[in-house]
Each structure stands twice: as C-alpha cells, then as structure tokens.
Amino acid sequence: MEKRFNTTGACFPDQHYMVDITDRLIAIKKMIDCGDYFVINRGRQYGKTTTLNALETFLTPDYLVISMDFQLLSNSDFSTEERFVSAFAREMYRNELVRKAVGSDIADTLKKLKSGKDLVLADLFDVFCDICIEAEKPVVLLIDEIDTASNNAVFIDFLSMLRGYYLRRNKITIFKSVILAGVRDIRNLKQKIRDDSEHQHNSPWNIAVDFNVNMSLTVDGIAGMLSDYESDHKTGMDIKAVAQLIYDYTSGYPVLVSNICKLIDENIHEWNSNGIVSAVNKILTMNMPLFDSLINKLEDYPAMKKSLYQVLTNGQKFSYNPDHEATKLLLLFGFVKVEDNGVVIANRIFETRLYNDMLTSEEMKATPIAKAGTFDKPEFVKDGVLDVELILTKFIAHFHEIYGDKPEKFIEEDGRKCFLIYLRPIINGIGNYYVEAQTRDNRRMDIVIDYLGKRYIIELKIWHGQKYNEDGEKQLSDYLDSYGLKTGYLLTFCFNDSKESGVKAVQFEDKTLIEAIV
C-alpha cells in the first residue's frame, strides 16, 4: 500500500487528522529528479516548513538530504564567514542522517569546522563536494527560513558561491538539486540587502526555476481530512458542503483551514455553515502572527498599500502585470493571487480583515457615517433577521445629510467605502461580509453578508443609465440563483439630478429586488 504523507499545516489538535499532500510531494520530487534549483516562496504560515519536513522523509529512499533551518542560527552566526561556516558545519554534524551517510573522515572534518578558526566559505564547499562524492545517493541541499539571513552579506556571498558550484555541476560533483524556502525569492533577498539607490533587476543569482506547485489545500484534500474526522466522531456533517465552504472562506490557506477546524472542534461544535461563520468571526478578531505580519508589511511598503486599497475600496480589478513592483510585492507577501490573469485578494478572510483594518483606522472611525452606523445598530435585527432594507433606507438619509453638498467626484470615489464604514459596526461581532471577487469592477461590486445563519446579497453600483440598470438586475438575479436566494438588494449611487433617491421593491422574474438610490 502506498504511503500517504500528511501536513500538520491544516489539522485538528489531535494530529491524527491531517490533509494528504502526497500529490504535492510527488510534484516537487519531479523537479528534484530534473536537478532543479528552486525557491519555495509563499506567505507566512503557508505550510512551507511542514511540507519540507514531509519532503525530507519522502526523498530519503532516493536521496541524501542535507536539511538546514536558518532559524537555528543566531544573528552572530552570519556576522563573518568564519562564524557562518562554523555554524553550518555544526548543524550538519548534528544531522544524524548526514553523519551516517558519510565516512568518518568527513564527519571529523565537520567536527573540526564547527569549532575551527580562520574559516572561509570555500572550506564549507570543499566539505559539500566531499559529501557528494562519497554519498551513495545523489545529494539535495534544502534550506528553510532563508529570510532569517536576508540582511546578511555573508549569506549573499554564500548564495553566489552556491550558484557557481551548481552551474558547474557537470564538472564538479555537487548537489543534485537545491531548494530554498521562505517568503522572499532570491531577487528579493538581493534587493533587501542593498540600499534603495543600488537596486538592480538583473540579479546574477536569479537562476532558480519557477516553482508552480500548488501549496494551498484543495477542497478534496480538506474533505479527506474531514472524512477521517467524521469516521471517528459521527457528527453527521455534510462533508462535501463543509469542505467547500471552508475552502470558499480560506482559498485553502493552510493556517486558516486549521484554525477553522480547531475552533469548531474545541469550542463551537457545529459542523455546518453556522459553525464555519462563527469560526471565521472569531478568527477575524484574533491576534494572529499572520495578520500582524500582513498589516506591518502594508506600513513598510506604501506603494503596495495604495495598490491594495485600490482593489479594496474603488473596485479596481487590474490585470496581472509581472513587471509591476507593487503587484509583485502583494503576491510575494500573500495578499493577492492571480485568477484568470487578474489580481484578486488571496481569500475572503484576508479581505475582511484588511477591510476591517482600513475601516477602523482613526481617520475612518472619526467619520460621521461610521458613528451613524454604531448609533443605528439596535434597530436592524428583528427575530434574528437582518433588516437590510431598513439599513439602506437609513444609510441614504445619513449620506445625504452628511455628504449632500460634496463634489460629485468625491462621492463617486468614496460612496462604496462610506457604505462599508456604515455597515461594519452594524454586523460586527455577529456576522461578517466579503466582496465577491468575480463582480468587482469600477461599476459594480457585490457584498455578501453572513448574519445569524442567513445570507444577504447587496449589489453596489454607479448609475450609468436605465439599460445598464436593467442589466444589473439580471446579473443580481443570476447571482441570487447561485446562492438559492429569492431576495436581493441594489444600492445605486446616482449623479443624475433628475433621479430621485429612495428605496423601492421591484419584481424581477421570480426575485424580489430591493432597489435603493443615493
């Protein structure tokens, strides 16, 4: 029976329930079999380390893996060549698999290097070559957490020498394959260590082949894990539906899948849409290193933040351009992904968390429309049902009172943001919302609200004439069909002086559409 390899990147507290990643490991091994040099660069807590741990075991029958985790090295270990060589040799000597695979002479050399003096990088590469000559299997070098070393010139020199040896492997016996893992790729490491004025885009170390293996968890993978759990716990869950909904919120981001499962298993005990929404609500209020890292990156890179907020607030869905620096950074840090050659937010949880961060800034909280939403909140829930029609009615009244005398340009750019500022305190802590990526553009944006087990769809759009409005009704009706709903809501921002504001119900086919015009 073929052995299955699992990842703890998405699991329950009981480590028995994990997602099978054998297909992922097979795909990575194919790259190693080809002798590739590549970088596994993904966002924080994306399951890189757990994948590498499983990969090391998976490769053992065919390869000797020299595995290094730079988190085990201190800053001082990167201060000089001597300290770096000594630290690297120390960690290799501690690796029992490496010691058993090489002869006593090489083991003695490693032992001497780890406490040696006047060492240079060439001493380390001499040992690499000796190991690759003596080992009975091809040797793979695997280094995790390369970002730990990214501010150190010694590591950059190490990368330069590694490149030189790798490119000469037809003349020098050296590693069959090289794998580096971290958030940044090789060129990003080069840019990080140099002054901004010295950034170059023709890094001499950019030899890595593209790593296109899907590192996210699939619906089938999540379902397989849930099936194992269900066999033991007999919850009665609809495994396929629960797996799909977890994926819909996370897009398979491992740590988010793990947190949803953990919260339901330990606290919520509802393996259905209500339980998943409750878990998502808790995650959105948790202090997670992942979220802290994302928000900090926005402050570090203003241009990236500006591009991200254009997607969030203005409905700008832009085409993927691999040469656009802000887009490359957004992809690098995991904020966005590429779908159908367009850039979209990585997952619904990220999107809502980013919206919440933006909408709860001191500037936003101070706006009158935000205060109005907090004040009106008690009026909008009746018998567990969110009164969206009343929300729209109240919003229109507040909007005209507060922004009625503002220039048209201001209203057009900020109208949708104002509605989200108004909406957030109303549903905060009980429900959540996200913007449907497929409907995001400069003219239309659909907001999906999950509140107390019920779902509400609100289409936000700019008035572009009666024909466009009728097309919008048809689009919303079709979108409601995909959710099995019969009632939808349209909020239109209109700059036609002859158009009257207000709220009315319109029958469209078998749907009731509540149309509100600002």
The pair of three-digit structure tokens given for residue 137, joined into one six-digit string: 């299997």
Whether the pLDDT of residue 355 is over 90: the answer is no
| Residues 303, 272 contacting (CB under 8 angstroms) | no
The pLDDT score that the predictor gives to residue 362 is: 61
* pLDDT bracket for residue 510 (50, 70, 90): very high
Q: How far apart are the first and last CA of the chain?
A: 64
What the block records as the tokens of 461 is 């759009």
Cα–Cα distance, 161 to 321 (Å, whole number): 32
Of 191-205, 269-283, 356-370, 465-479, the range with the highest mean pLDDT is: 269-283
Structure tokens at 295: 């928000």
Q: Are 34 and 282 in contact (CB under 8 A)?
A: no
Provide mean pLDDT across the span 486-507: 84
Give CA angle at 391 (389, 394), nearest 5°. Answer: 110
Count of CB atoms within 10 A of residue 307's CB? 22
Q: Which of 120, 211, 207 is nearest to 164 (CA)?
A: 207
Residue (of 311, 297, 301, 316) closest to 345 by Cα position: 311
pLDDT average, residue stretch 392-411: 75
Cβ neighbours of residue 377 under 8 Å, at least 6 residues apart?
A: 425, 426
Domain ranges for the chain, please list them: 35-198, 219-287, 288-359, 372-517
- CA 154 to centroid of chain Cα atoms: 31
Using the predicted structure, report yes or no on whether residue 333 has a pLDDT greater than 90: no
Banded pLDDT at 208 (limits 50, 70, 90): low
Residue pair 437/372 in contact (Cβ under 8 Å)? The answer is: no
- Per-residue model confidence (pLDDT) at position 320: 81
Q: Is 434 helix (H, G, I), strand (E, B) or coil?
A: strand
- Average pLDDT of span 149-176: 88
Q: How far apart are alpha carbons 147 and 217 in whole angstroms?
A: 24
Tens-place pLDDT, residues 434-451: 877 655 555 667 888 988
Residue 391 banded pLDDT, cuts 50, 70, 90: very high
Percent of the chain with pLDDT over 70: 84
CA distances from 316 to 77, 297, 312, 416, 426 (A): 46, 21, 8, 12, 26
Give the rounded distance of the alpha carbon of 333 from its chain centre.
Answer: 8
Tokens 């270990």 correspond to what residue?
Answer: 77
pLDDT tens-digit series, residues 107-160: 889 999 988 888 999 999 999 999 999 989 999 999 998 877 766 788 888 988
Residues in a beta bridge with 435: 447
pLDDT at 432 over 60: yes
Beta strands in 59-205 (DSSP E): 64-69, 139-144, 177-182
- The radius of gyration computed from the CA coordinates of the chain, to the nearest angstrom, equals 27
Burial 457-466 (b: 16+ CB within 10 A, else e): bbbbbbbeee
* Distance, CA of 311 to CA of 345 (rounded, Å): 8
184's CB contacts (< 8 A; 6+ apart) are 41, 146, 147, 150, 192, 332
What is the rounded CA–CA span in Å between residue 145 and residue 73? 10
Strands (E), 273-319: none
Q: Alpha-carbon distance 368 to 375, whole Å?
A: 11
Q: Whole-angstrom Cα distance, residue 19 to residue 8?
A: 8
Provide the phi-psi class of 426: left if phi over 0, else alpha when psi is between -120 and 50, else beta.
alpha
What is the rounded distance in angstroms from the CA atom of residue 268 to the CA atom of residue 402? 41
CB contact at 8 A, 129 and 173? yes
**CB neighbour list of residue 62: distance below 8 Å, 6 or more residues apart:** 137, 138
The pLDDT value recorded for residue 314 is 59
Structure tokens, 393? 């009615």
Least reliable range by pLDDT among 47-61, 116-130, 140-154, 389-403: 140-154
Q: How confident is the model at residue 497, as a pLDDT?
A: 65
Fold held by 35-198: Rossmann fold (3.40.50)
Residue 6: pLDDT band (50, 70, 90) is: very low
pLDDT in tens, 107-117: 889 999 988 88
Please report, as a single letter, which amino acid is at residue 48.
K
Nearest CA to 512 out of 462, 456, 460 is that of 456
| CA distance to 179, 301, 318, 414, 491, per residue, from 420 (Å) | 44, 25, 21, 10, 12
- The structure tokens listed for 317 are 């869905």
Q: What pLDDT is stored for residue 268 in this prediction?
A: 94
Higher pLDDT, 180 or 200: 180
Residues recorded for the chain: 518
Is pLDDT of 236 > 90? yes
- Kindly state the tokens that stand for 516: 């509100």
List the alpha helices (DSSP H) in 66-140: 81-94, 96-101, 104-113, 121-134
- Of the pLDDT bands very low, low, confident and very high (cuts 50, 70, 90), residue 1 is very low
